[in-house]
Amino acid sequence: MRSRFAGKGINCGHYFGLSLEAATQEAQYYGMDLEKVVLIEVEGESKRILDLTHPEVIKYIFQDFIDSSRNMALFYYPMLQILIEQGKGGNHYTDYIGWYAKRLQYDGILFYSARALEHVAKYRYNRNTESFEYQNEFYEMRKNASLLNVVLFSGMKFVNEIKSISVGPNNRLQNPYRGVGLEKISEMFSEHGQGYQDKQEPSPLVRPIYFPIDD
């Protein structure tokens, strides 16, 4: 998960499940030893998150961000498969979408976990029925917090918008840095502030092209 929609070496992504089940299953999916990690629970907010769980948003992103995807954008589940299935965390499509979303001043992306494909596998090769059923299926998935993850691009914005945090079984602590402003936070963490993060990003990614494969 560590590279999806942030891209390895592209953005400094901070990843979270939207539920305890989502975080636990995601850690297990990527082979983490749960005996050697601790659960961090964060309460926060962001006003500018790109929602890649809504089918019409997914369609728009493919039409606008990926070349030669016009025919593919007529069908929702092939697009969903590309967004969440390729490898254990990201591919050229998701790298580009994450990079470009950050360029458009989004704070992060809400997206489905790789396990969501289990819920839609029956539609991969049934395009004749998907147009009648996709809305209900997407609605059910979007209500299921165990399938939802979010990546936040900026550590400084993340610190600025956290309301409270708890680590393991400890009591919840209020964030004393909430709302102090990005300039103040940058001063406190100057070695790894926004300037440092921006320097880590390589040249712009090449806009991806979708090459359909005949069945």
54-83 tens-digit pLDDT:
989 999 998 888 887 777 767 787 788 888
Q: For 46, what's the count of Cα atoms within 13 Å in the CB-facing half-sphere?
A: 22
Helix or strand run (H / E) with residue 79: helix 76-84
Confidence of residue 49 (pLDDT cuts 50, 70, 90): very high
Residue 89 has pLDDT above 60, yes or no: no
Distance CA 204, CA 177 (A): 32
Counting residues of the chain whose pLDDT is more than 90, the rounded percentage is 18
pTM: 0.82
Residue among 23, 2, 22 at smallest CA distance from 13 = 2
Decide: 2 and 136 in contact? Cβ < 8 Å.
Answer: no
Mean pLDDT of the chain: 79
Q: pLDDT tens digits, residue range 109-167? A: 999 987 787 776 655 556 666 667 777 888 888 999 999 999 898 888 888 999 999 98
Predicted local distance difference test score (pLDDT) of residue 122: 57
Q: pLDDT tens digits, residue range 173-203? A: 999 999 999 888 888 776 655 555 555 555 5
Predicted local distance difference test score (pLDDT) of residue 2: 52
End-to-end CA distance of the chain: 29
Residue 125 is which amino acid? Y
How many CB atoms are located within 10 Å of the residue 141 CB? 17
